[in-house]
């Protein structure tokens, strides 16, 4: 069975670990979000691609869900000693190697998709990981200038855009987001293999990743949304919102920024029945099933807390079973 998954970072990676366990013989292609990418210290960092690669390759820092296990921070400490920032984004020594190789290969003319394949040759994630695009896309978040904490500008009553990583890591998503801008998405094109994988898929899954800045950013690459609807195969999503709150991360802040209520049913409607055939909500949101079905999307309530690999595997089994019934 050929499965295509549109994945962001931690939630997507943990779901994929369950999917691999539930469907060990499946051919899984992951279309990875690159809107979280950030250029720091002259290096290109791809947090969501690395989280999938490290998590499925067995190198991730388990509690954090990002970065490497057994990490040290000597290089970062030296950068700070030189007064070179930003201090708020903690990059470990082992992680630096990934970004050095990636940046070196970009400088040598390799596209991000080829670089990702080369990095995965070491990690053997057991899926094919393709960035959504080889073009540069970086998500920025519009906040109130007075909330930015940096020196107030001449017009600090106004608004300013900060990189998603600054919003999330430095500001802890603690201030309102007025808009989310996937800068560069409009001019980007799907990376080689993305449209082909979607066209050949037997089922397409939207894991419990951030529907705005992860799955939403992937869908913002021209051609991807159209390819999914044209594929004519079951598309099943799993809600990242459980009991009106994100299981992790900042999905609620991002949903508010795009005018969507932070509920399981509202996220399904946001994706719309044009994309989704089925939507899994957590058992605590069982009351939402009818509402989702009214939106023309099949819906089931199953446990969605990925407390361990087996829990994630069970979610994956539910999604695949749903897909086979939707197809029928």
> How far is the C-alpha of 218 from the C-alpha of 215, rounded, in Å?
5
Residue with tokens 């005018």: 259
Return the DSSP state at 298. Answer: E
Q: Where are the alpha helices (DSSP H) in 161-297?
A: 164-165, 194-200, 215-219, 224-231, 251-257, 264-271, 289-294
**What token pair was written down for 141?**
């978040």
Q: Whose CA is closest to 180, among 270, 95, 248?
A: 270
* Residue span binding ligand FO1 (CB under 6 A) among the ranges 45-53, 55-63, 233-241, 277-285: 45-53
Least distance CB 36 / ligand FO1 (angstroms)? 4
204, 4 in Cβ contact below 8 A? yes
177, 254 in Cβ contact below 8 A? yes
With binding defined as CB under 6 A, does residue 169 bind ligand FO1? yes
Nearer to ligand FO1, 138 or 277 (CB): 138
Binding mask 3-32 toward ligand FO1 (x if CB under 6 A, else -) reads ------x-----------------------
With binding defined as CB under 6 A, does residue 168 bind ligand FO1? yes
> How far is the C-alpha of 5 from the C-alpha of 55, rounded, in Å?
15
Nearer to ligand FO1, 98 or 314 (CB): 98
With binding defined as CB under 6 A, does residue 103 bind ligand FO1? no
Question: What are the start-end ranges of the E strands in 134-226?
Answer: 138-144, 159-163, 179-183, 203-206
Q: Of these, 89, 96, 167, 322, which contacts ligand FO1 (CB under 6 A)?
A: 89
With binding defined as CB under 6 A, does residue 41 bind ligand FO1? no
With binding defined as CB under 6 A, does residue 318 bind ligand FO1? no
With binding defined as CB under 6 A, does residue 129 bind ligand FO1? no
Residues forming the site for ligand FO1 (CB under 6 A): 9, 36, 45, 47-48, 50-51, 66-67, 89-91, 95, 165, 168-169, 249
């Amino acid at each position: 069975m050929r499965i295509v998954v549109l994945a962001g970072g931690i939630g997507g990676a943990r779901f994929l670990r369950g999917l691999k366990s539930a469907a060990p013989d499946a051919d899984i292609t992951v279309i990875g979000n690159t809107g979280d990418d950030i250029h720091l210290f002259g290096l290109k960092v791809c947090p969501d691609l690395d989280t999938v690669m490290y998590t499925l390759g067995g190198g991730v820092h388990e509690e954090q869900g990002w970065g490497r296990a057994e990490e040290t921070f000597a290089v970062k400490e030296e950068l700070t000693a030189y007064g070179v920032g930003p201090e708020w984004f903690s990059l470990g020594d082992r992680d630096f190697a990934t970004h050095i190789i990636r940046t070196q290969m970009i400088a040598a003319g390799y596209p991000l998709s080829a670089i990702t394949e080369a990095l995965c040759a070491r990690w053997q994630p057991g899926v094919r990981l393709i960035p959504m695009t080889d073009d540069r896309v970086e998500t920025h978040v519009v906040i109130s200038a007075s909330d930015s904490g940096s020196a107030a500008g001449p017009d600090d009553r106004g608004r300013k855009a900060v990189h998603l990583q600054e919003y999330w890591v430095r500001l802890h998503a603690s201030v309102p987001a007025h808009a989310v801008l996937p800068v560069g998405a409009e001019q980007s094109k799907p990376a080689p293999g993305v449209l082909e994988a979607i066209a050949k898929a037997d089922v397409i899954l939207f894991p419990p990743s951030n529907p705005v800045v992860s799955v939403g950013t992937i869908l913002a690459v021209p051609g991807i949304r159209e390819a999914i609807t044209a594929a004519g195969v079951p598309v099943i999503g799993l809600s990242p919102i459980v009991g009106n709150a994100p299981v992790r991360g900042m999905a609620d802040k991002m949903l508010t920024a795009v005018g969507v209520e932070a509920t399981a049913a509202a996220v399904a409607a946001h994706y719309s029945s044009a994309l989704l055939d089925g939507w899994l909500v957590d058992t605590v949101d069982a009351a939402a099933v009818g509402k989702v079905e009214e939106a023309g999307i099949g819906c089931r309530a199953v446990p969605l807390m990925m407390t361990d690999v087996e829990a994630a595997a069970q979610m994956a089994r539910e999604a695949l079973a749903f897909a086979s019934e939707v197809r029928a």
